[in-house]
Amino acid sequence: MPLRTETVGRRSLRRWPLPDPGSSKYDRGTLLVVGGALRSPGAVALAGVAALRVGAGRITLGVARSVAPALGVGVPEAGVIALPETPDGSVRPDAYTAVLPTLRSVQAVLIGPGLDDLESAARLVEALVAEAPESTVFVLDAYALAAIADEPGLVSNLHGRLILTPSPTELGVLLGGREIAADRAADVRRAAREVARAYGAAVATQALVADVDGSAWRIRAGGPGLGTSGSGDVLAGAIAGLAARGATPAHAAVWGTYLHACAGDQLAPGRQGVGYLARELSDRFPALIADLS
């Protein structure tokens, strides 16, 4: 019997509510985001703001030293850690040492937004996974995904507390270089389930989420406007923020994907709606969450 894919809408999410927000920022969880090379610091800003917009209580952003002051001003709600960088502004592989004190007190870690060096991404994933408490949830995006495709063993002990946010092309990379047709929903769904099983992760790709046990959820929202620069960073940040709040990996991935898609629909209604900016998406999250509570 083929595995069933559940369609996600308002009614189903109301039956699957988010964790209670509690009474303080620490009740809602803390998140560490690591990325932000000189050429792409905005990716971390987009992810961090998205995490706050879905209700994460406290965030810390680790970025290349040269952009840390500007990011601290641009996202004043966040703590900022200046990471060692190479002469051309890439985050160095040994940058993990700068975030260790913070790592031990967070509920979730997002690695990848704005990183631009594969070896550095691999070593950051390796070190942070090794040093984090056993309860910490990891969300991997962008270069961090390519890193584990080359070295799957980096995440072998994260089964059940790992979330991956690949595009269909990155799904193929995670499966050894296979070509995945983004316009063939069945192919994307099959590949997402395979990646989920292979890496022990919840997988959020386009409007689909797959989990380790073969469960899958389809979000009937969103449109071509979501294919804009920075949109994936917003999605990764939203999912990581929800994981920090205490949602399970699959729960966080489904809710984050739904909020991301619905925000796009509100900004540019219609099947061909385009032209909004990724930074505008997260502004819609609080009202969407309130409507589902």
- Under CATH, which number does the domain 26-292 receive? 3.40.1190.20
Q: Which pLDDT tens digit goes with each residue over 156-196?
A: 999 999 999 999 999 999 999 999 988 888 999 999 999 99
Buried b (16+ CB within 10 A) or exposed e, 125-153: bbbbbeebeeebbbbbbbbbbbbbbeeee
In angstroms, rounded to a whole number, what is the distance separating the alpha carbons of residues 80 and 33?
10
Whether the CB-CB separation of 104 and 133 falls below 8 Å is answered with yes
pTM of the model: 0.97
What are the sequence ranges of the domains in the chain? Answer: 26-292
Q: Which residue has the tokens 């994460």?
A: 56
d(CA 163, CA 97): 23
The SS3 call for residue 129 is helix
What is the tens place of the pLDDT at every residue in 127-157? 999 999 999 999 999 999 999 999 999 999 9
